[in-house]
Structure formats: structure tokens, C-alpha cells
Amino acid sequence: MTVSVDVTEEVPELVKSAEALFAEDAGSHDPRMDLGWPAREGAAYYQDLVEDENALCLLARSDGAVAGHLIGRLLPVSSLRPGAVRAVLESMRVAAERRREGVGEALVAAFVAWAKERGANELAVQAYANNEGALAFYRAQGFEPFEVRLGRAV
């Protein structure tokens, strides 16, 4: 298994992985999510991220096939919390057939190293509240609840 940091030439593979994430994760947990967004807008969005020095785009491969991806960002320092330099794990997917093989751990380890190199002292990730698998995985990687966002339909 390998994790690629320079994915400039692999944006189409990144988009395919994002499409799978949207279908599996958002498709199961968010009835209002536009599941067609990656196919429609993903290429331009991820190409911009690949070129952004404050963003990280990773692709994991196993046996030559894409096993997953991770998107991370370094956020601007806020005047409300001037001591917090935050890196956000924006999205991550590991292909179902590659789970429990260390792919997710390798992606998160690469994200943590990247964030540290850029001076981050806080890491953040969001997951759907009823996605127990994702929550358990992130807890196993050292993430702990910090804020809770509640929602309500009107």
C-alpha cells in the first residue's frame, strides 16, 4: 500500500473516490446531500485543492487500485481563538474491500505529519452522528469530541 501526496495527475481518481464517499456516506446519512456534486463540480474543486498550499490531497493505492483518499486543510487563524492553529480533515474514504488493512491509519498519519509541519496544534474532523464506524475509527486515531452540532428540520 502506498500513499501519494502529489496527486496533480490523479484528480480523476480523486473525484471517483469522492463520488464513492458521497454515495456511501452522505447517501446513507443525509437525504438533502447532492450526490451528483462530485461528478459535476469535483474535477474543478479538487484541481484547485491540489494547487492550494494550505490543502492536502492524498490517494492511497493497494495492488495498483485506489484504496482511498483524504482531503485536509490548514485553516486561517481566527481572532476568536488566536492560539489555535487548526488543520481540518475535510473528507476521507477507504474502499470497503480495503478496510482493516491499515489504509485509513496511513492516510491519517500522513495528514497528522503534514499538519505538524505547518504548525498546526489542533486537528478536527466531522462525521455523521449516526456513522458509528467512522466515529469509532476517528476515536481510535486520537480524535475526541470537542464541539457538538445539533440540527433540526423546520
Q: According to the model, what pLDDT value does residue 8 have?
A: 87
Q: According to the model, what pLDDT value does residue 6 have?
A: 84
Strand partners of residue 86: 122
Low-confidence ranges of the chain (pLDDT < 70): none
The hierarchical CATH code for the domain 2-139 is 3.40.630.30
* Domains in the chain: boundaries: 2-139
Question: Phi and psi (nearest 5°) for 92?
Answer: -155, 140
Q: What is the pTM of this model?
A: 0.94
Amino acid of residue 41: E
Q: According to the model, what pLDDT value does residue 132 have?
A: 94
DSSP string, 64-107: TEEEEEEEEEEPPPPSSSTT--EEEEEEEEE-GGGTTTTHHHHH
Q: According to the model, what pLDDT value does residue 53 have?
A: 95
Show the cell assigned to 1. 500500500
Q: What is the Cα–Cα distance from 43 to 51, expressed in whole angstroms?
A: 12
Write the burial class of residue 11 (CB in 10 Å: 0-12 exposed, 13-18 middle, 19+ buried): buried
